[in-house]
Amino acid sequence: MSLVVLTAPAPLVDLDRFLDATAEGCRASPLFLWDAEGAPFGLAGRGEAVRIEGRGEGRFRQVVERARRSFADLVDHRLPGAEDAPAPALFGGLAFHPMPVWEEPWTGFGDASFVLPRWSYVRGGRTGRAFLRLGLRSADLPWIHGWLAALAEILGDLAETAPAEAAGGERSDGAAELVQMTEEVWSGLVSDALGRISARRLRKIVAARRSQVTAAAPIDVLGVLARLRRSGGQGCVRFAFQREAATFLGQTPERLVSLSGRDVTTEAIAGSATGPDAGAILERPKERWEHAVVVDGIRRALGPICDGLEIPDEPGVRALPGIHHLCTPIHGTLKEPLHVLDLARKLHPTPAVSGAPGRPATRWIVQHEPHARGWYAGPVGWFDPGGNGELAVAIRSGVIMRRRAWIWAGAGIVAGSDPESEYAETGAKQAPLLHALGLAA
């Protein structure tokens, strides 16, 4: 017996409240957050019971196999009242592209890493209830009475707070410096991409730029997460994954894939526009063509393994604060059982974050972007012992490490793209996180 998971019913509070609770177990590192609108459940986690990692091009399969071995020895014990809790799950993500060596701020993340938190506060699901989960290794069991006392302390701490209360988080005092990629450097990057497209080596390249913030005082991660929640966004996933002193967080509008049994759900998010009229994007040929490339890429990836792939003929519009996207929901039924990471491996990277054709576009990104993307635009999310799970594309995201933050945003470059307009688009995409950090875009 290598892993024991205890689950107890818990008071229904905001996920942020658990992360900000005063009980000792709620102050453990690393922290985790998965807050997805309309998802089976949300999770806030603290500490680490088990970590599964993978490296190189085989990182997807490595994580699946290593997780399968860990789950095989799992004892899932539900205390009275927690019988209908969701299955235990591993939370984490994978890099956009594997790297032989990772530099700051990505040194603790690696090519792929998923964790079963020591403490998990799970809410939602079909029951609309909440649960507190404790993950223990065999070596922890001699101190089981101490762990049970800690569980009772956390439950008592959460019970003292009304359900409506949530962590607030004030901005850190002091000025902050913002350093962005200059428009000149961006123009050179886009011009190179346009040259490849003009030569018909590629049809689309998604170029990304990074901005860096340096604050006068340590940045309050929980405050940033709370402000992201208040800023909202239709259908967005708010997430956070901490490794050592760095926390990768964001609020992405793009789900990569979710799997329940053989039921597959994904979506194409591509084509962006700013302005008050969200519907105007439907009349823009460039955005429609860019979106069609992504839909076609998903169809090619999932069509051979699904029966009855359902793809609407026309996209809808995902309206977000400051920016709008074309969106096409896609559903299918697997012909044979697969793990959600097997689906992610077939889909990632979609043309929405790399380009088309995929391999040469990704190669261009790795060779030409001045900063490694790390987990930016990579798959993040969770999966359970049955291989069910949900993964999002980690865009609208950044890393916070003490007084510094790094923020990424990308834009799809196609024939006719204007560097100045694309620079403004990436600025609009960085704006919510910059605002959460206390800065104007």
- Please say if the pLDDT value at position 7 is more than 60: yes
| Stretch 224-249: mean pLDDT | 91
Q: What's the rounded Cα separation, in Å, for the pair 173 and 170?
A: 9
| Among 124, 227, 159, residue whose Cα is nearest residue 439 | 227
- Tokens 């429609």 map to which residue? 288
| Stretch 228-248: mean pLDDT | 90
Q: How crowded is residue 287: how many other Cβ atoms within 10 Å of its Cβ?
A: 22
DSSP secondary structure string, 100-121? SS--TTSTTT-SEEEEE-SEEE
- Please say if the pLDDT value at position 97 is more than 50: yes
pLDDT in tens, 34-44: 998 767 689 99
pLDDT value of residue 440: 60
| Stretch 419-439: mean pLDDT | 92
Q: How crowded is residue 406: how many other Cβ atoms within 10 Å of its Cβ?
A: 21
Confidence of residue 275 (pLDDT cuts 50, 70, 90): confident
Confidence of residue 163 (pLDDT cuts 50, 70, 90): very low
Question: Residue 98 in contact with residue 56, Cβ under 8 Å?
Answer: yes
Q: Report the relative pairing of strands 263-273 and 306-310 from DSSP bridges.
A: unpaired
Q: What's the rounded Cα separation, in Å, for the pair 361 and 351?
A: 9
- Please say if the pLDDT value at position 164 is more than 80: no
pLDDT value of residue 231: 80
- Please say if the pLDDT value at position 167 is more than 60: no
Which pair of tokens denotes residue 182? 């200059």
DSSP secondary structure string, 389-428? EEEEE--SEEEEETTEEEEEEEEEE-TT--HHHHHHHHHH
DSSP label at residue 148: H
Environment class of 177 (CB within 10 Å of its CB; exposed 0-12, middle 13-18, buried 19+) = exposed
Q: Which of 12-16, 164-168, 174-178, 329-333 has the lowest mean pLDDT?
A: 164-168
Q: CB neighbours of 145 closer than 8 A, spacing ≥ 6? A: none
- Please say if the pLDDT value at position 166 is more than 60: no
- Tokens 């359902």 map to which residue? 310
> Can you give the pTM of this predicted structure?
0.94
254 tagged catalytic:
yes
Q: CB neighbours of 188 closer than 8 A, spacing ≥ 6? A: none
The string over 90-101, giving b where at least 16 C-beta atoms fall within 10 Å of a residue's C-beta and e elsewhere, is bbbbbbbbbbee
Question: Residue 370 in contact with residue 218, Cβ under 8 Å?
Answer: no
pLDDT in tens, 119-145: 999 987 666 799 999 999 988 988 999
Environment class of 434 (CB within 10 Å of its CB; exposed 0-12, middle 13-18, buried 19+) = buried
pLDDT value of residue 406: 97
pLDDT value of residue 168: 46
Residues 403, 408, 409, 415, CA torsion sign: positive
| Among 405, 438, 432, residue whose Cα is nearest residue 173 | 438
pLDDT in tens, 354-377: 999 999 999 999 999 999 999 999
Percent of residues, the chain, with pLDDT higher than 90:
77
Question: Residue 215 in contact with residue 407, Cβ under 8 Å?
Answer: no
- Please say if the pLDDT value at position 438 is more than 80: yes
pLDDT value of residue 41: 81
- Please say if the pLDDT value at position 278 is more than 80: no
Q: CB neighbours of 292 closer than 8 A, spacing ≥ 6? A: none
DSSP secondary structure string, 307-349? EEEE--SS-EEEEETTEEEEEEEEEEEESS---HHHHHHHHSS
Q: Which of 48, 204, 267, 422 is catalytic?
A: 204
Which pair of tokens denotes residue 142? 């001699």
Q: How crowded is residue 415: how many other Cβ atoms within 10 Å of its Cβ?
A: 12
Which pair of tokens denotes residue 398? 């950044």
Q: What's the rounded Cα separation, in Å, for the pair 71 and 328?
A: 35
pLDDT in tens, 380-418: 999 999 999 999 999 999 999 999 999 999 999 999 899
- Cis peptide leading into residue 86 (ω within 30°): no
CATH 3.60.120.10 in the chain, residues? 176-220+254-436
- Please say if the pLDDT value at position 279 is more than 90: no
DSSP label at residue 318: E
Q: Which of 254, 287, 290, 390 is catalytic?
A: 254
The fourth-level CATH superfamily of domain 176-220+254-436 is Anthranilate synthase (3.60.120.10)
Which pair of tokens denotes residue 363? 């190669």
- Please say if the pLDDT value at position 63 is more than 60: yes
Q: How is the chain split among helix, strand and coil, in percent rounded to 5?
A: 30, 35, 35
